[in-house]
Chain A
Amino acid sequence: MATRNVQHMTPRAIKGWYLVHKWTSLVCTIFLLLLCVTGLPLIFYHEIDHLIGNAIEPPELPGVTARADLDAIVETAKARRPNEVVQLLVNDEDDPVWWVRFGETAAAEEVSTLSMFDARTGAFLHDYPVNQGVMPILWRLHVDMFAGLPGSLFLGAMGLVFLAAIISGVVLYAPFMRKLPFGSIRWERSPRTRWLDLHNLLGIVTVMWALVVGVTGSINTLANPIFQQWQATELAEMIAANQGLSSDPVQGSVAQAIQAAQSVDPDWELFFLAFPGNPFAGSHHYTAFMRGETPLTSKLLKPVLIDAQTGQVADSRDLPWYVTALLLSQPLHFGDYGGLPLKIIWAFLDIITIIVLGSGLYLWKKKSAASIEDRVSSAMEQEDVFGLSASSRESIL
């Protein structure tokens, strides 16, 4: 009965799936290779930053639990960069550190300066070297190939083609493995057979990881449109409903605003505060983006709108499903949610995927280059692997 199930795929069906696998793979392989190669160092972005001194640790201050005045930190930051505008104040997840993000304007997309302050003493510690070195180049290549939103969306589409290549590859696994126990690698046979076996083994073992990283990567390409949609609808509604509270764009106390946001739900702590004029805030409002304290909710965000002048909470709403989907896609794509060992496993799986992509390309090239005699003899050797007639067997192999 089991045997009948395997033979259930007709030669015609196998050939159809083979064509799907071949063409979807040919379309996306070169871009997937780019993504896997640039993605490999990006897994360790944080570690590399610390290694080359782009990021530093705050000094050890045993016993110091006091927190510095946040308004003083913001004033110091502004005084250091009088020609730039504070966009965000970010609470570091690991260290007692505040980051102040500046732009040329409040709404500028590009960050101009990223300053690090000691959260205990309020002392300025370090300016992060923005857009320097090779990592930002790899990052841009990975995100949009220096082609902006169209580049990003194109890579997202390639991710979906990759999805079709993976699924068709899984469908083809059974007919190829009908006489080979799991994990067989026929080392004694021709290089092409050997690479076919490796392609099948490496591909089928990593299939779930490749699917998840592929799909979440495609979702991440929509990050900007997703946030813009939220800003244009939910955030705009929250601001419009509270316009009356403040007419004068004076910015009140940052510390008071954060305290007010904190009081909405004590289980959520501040991740970052968007300043008035930034697309994530209103012209008269701060938005405090709170993160949860459990491993899962720490990946999510809850926005609290605060009147910039009075420091009072104006509104707080949960993020819509599409932003939550994006926020959950990020860790599943980056692999940064289970410590360094998970990142190392991520790197191994990435390298294995590179081998699957490369061997797939090799198998396709080798097939077109092989003489007709080779293909016939190879087909004869595989004797009825597909349960096909000699002619259709040859056309597939």
Chain B
Amino acid sequence: MIPTLSRRQIWFMPVALLLLSTMGLLFALLGDAWWDVMSWGTLGYAVFVILWYVLKSP
């Protein structure tokens, strides 16, 4: 039987992604050039994570 996960285990990735997305949404608003690039990286990471887990099929 699979052990029950702790709250930390359940929420680590969702909270990390939430913070990264927030930064990504703000970066491009606060600056240009490198700020835009950082925005693409942080907000795009959410898309990457989804593709990673969905394409990692058995």
> Can you list 20 pairs linking A and B with CB atoms under 8 Å apart?
A173-B10, A173-B14, A174-B7, A178-B10, A183-B49, A205-B17, A206-B21, A207-B21, A209-B43, A295-B30, A295-B31, A296-B29, A337-B29, A338-B36, A339-B40, A345-B43, A349-B43, A349-B46, A352-B50, A383-B1
Nearest A residue to B57 by beta-carbon distance? A187
Measured CA separation A198–B51 after assembly (Å): 11
Interchain CB contact under 8 A, A208 and B10: no
Interchain CB contact under 8 A, A295 and B29: yes
Measured CA separation A314–B42 after assembly (Å): 45
Q: A181-B9, A208-B17, A299-B29 are in contact. Are A202 and B50 (CB under 8 A)?
A: yes
1/0 per residue, CB under 8 A from A, across B18-43: the answer is: 10011001011111100110011001
Residues of B within 8 A of A212 (CB): 25
Contact partner of B8 (CB less than 8 A), chosen from A2, A183, A337, A338, is A2
Nearest B residue to A179 by beta-carbon distance? B2
Name B residues whose Cβ lies closer than 8 Å to a Cβ of A: 1-14, 17-18, 21-22, 25, 27-32, 35-36, 39-40, 43-44, 46-47, 49-50, 52-54, 56-58
Q: A183-B13, A208-B17 are in contact. Are A178 and B5 (CB under 8 A)?
A: yes
A-B contact count (CB 8 A): 117
Interface of B is mostly: helix
Tell me the count of chain A residues lying within 8 A, CB to CB, of chain B.
42
Name A residues whose Cβ lies closer than 8 Å to a Cβ of B: 2-3, 5-6, 173-174, 177-183, 185, 187-188, 198, 201-202, 204-209, 212, 295-296, 299, 328, 331-332, 337-339, 341-342, 345, 348-349, 352, 383
* Interface core residue of B5, B10, B28, B31 (most chain A CB under 10 Å): B10
Nearest A residue to B12 by beta-carbon distance? A182
Q: How far is the CB of A170 from chain B (nearest CB, A)?
A: 8
Interchain CB contact under 8 A, B35 and A6: no
Interchain CB contact under 8 A, B36 and A331: no
With A2-B6, A182-B10, A342-B40 already in contact, 7 other A-B pairs whose C-beta atoms are closer than 8 Å: A178-B5, A201-B50, A207-B18, A208-B18, A296-B30, A342-B28, A349-B43
Residues of B within 8 A of A205 (CB): 14, 17, 46, 49-50
Measured CA separation A352–B46 after assembly (Å): 10
Residues of A within 8 A of B54 (CB): 185, 198, 201
Residues of A within 8 A of B31 (CB): 295
Contact partner of B28 (CB less than 8 A), chosen from A202, A206, A337, is A337
Nearest A residue to B40 by beta-carbon distance? A341
Residues of B within 8 A of A198 (CB): 54
Contact partner of B7 (CB less than 8 A), chosen from A2, A338, A383, is A2
Residues of B within 8 A of A173 (CB): 10, 14
Interchain CB contact under 8 A, A208 and B21: yes
Measured CA separation A383–B4 after assembly (Å): 11
Measured CA separation A375–B55 after assembly (Å): 28
Measured CA separation A6–B10 after assembly (Å): 9
* Interface core residue of A3, A208, A339 (most chain B CB under 10 Å): A208
